[in-house]
Amino acid sequence: MTDPLEIALISAGAAIAGGALSGAYQHFRDRLERPVLELDHQEAQAYFPTAKYQTKDGKEVVEIFVRARVRNTGFRVARECRVFLTNVEELHHSGTTKTAFHDSMPLSWPLGDFSARDIPKGVELFVDVVSVFRYPEGWNFKVPQLYSSQQGLKTYRGTYRLTLLATAANALPSKPLQIDATYQMDWNNFRAVAVPRL
């Protein structure tokens, strides 16, 4: 005949083991099903839209955008997703040089919307990174506001290396995306290409 204390100990051990296995399974399942954010930039029309509009005084404005695509390839909805501009560097033949940009800032969804967005599986959204105008000349970073110490970024002639990162409340950050954007204050020759990931 089995001792009641022995039965209690076996029962307690089984409960603890069952709870641990159940918790481990739940954790493993959640990791497999969580959202997976991916950022990319391609040389296609959707990544370089042009906007034409008129100001209140009747002047025509032509604006060319550089955009990046964010997708959720996981199983669950990516909650409260934002894409950040995390770094702006000058790109030279000898390498990169730091700029006055020193703080990660959220990038705009189309039409200047900076709010967080939920991204279901299979849905792709575009985020505006930077644009240039036909006139007046200059870079137009799609962040809420540049600091006064960063205003000089708008007049740089050359190539910027822009680093982006997508985040969500229930997902790991995306792999960083780097885009090399070249602008010599000539909007006809404005170019941007993604840096190949290693």
- pLDDT per position as a tens digit, 159-179: 999 999 999 999 999 999 999
- Asked if residue 54 and residue 7 are part of one domain, the reply reads no
DSSP 99-161: -S--S-EEPBBGGGB-S-EEE-TT-EEEEEEEEEESSS-SEEE-SS---GGGGGGGG--EEEE
CA geometry: angle at 30 spanning 24 and 35, to 5°?
Answer: 155
- Asked if residue 185 and residue 144 are part of one domain, the reply reads yes
pLDDT surpassing 90 at residue 91: yes
- Asked if residue 21 and residue 70 are part of one domain, the reply reads no
- Asked if residue 113 and residue 21 are part of one domain, the reply reads no
- Mean pLDDT over each residue of the chain, to the nearest integer: 87
Query: pTM for this one?
Result: 0.81
> 176: how many CB neighbours lie within 10 A of its CB?
15
Is residue 173 within 8 Å of residue 38, measured between CB atoms? no
Q: Report CA dihedral (97, 101, 178, 172) to the nearest 10 degrees.
A: 130
pLDDT category at 33 given cuts 50, 70, 90 is low
CA geometry: angle at 181 spanning 177 and 185, to 5°?
Answer: 160
**Which helix (DSSP H) or strand (DSSP E) does residue 60 occupy?**
strand 60-72
- Asked if residue 159 and residue 116 are part of one domain, the reply reads yes
Residue 24, pLDDT score: 46
pLDDT category at 94 given cuts 50, 70, 90 is very high
Domains held by the chain: number: 2
- Asked if residue 5 and residue 78 are part of one domain, the reply reads no
Task: Please state whether the peptide bond connecting residue 136 to the residue before it is cis, i.e. omega within 30 degrees of 0.
Answer: yes
Tokens 């540049």 -> residue: 146
Q: Which domain holds residue 10?
A: 1-33
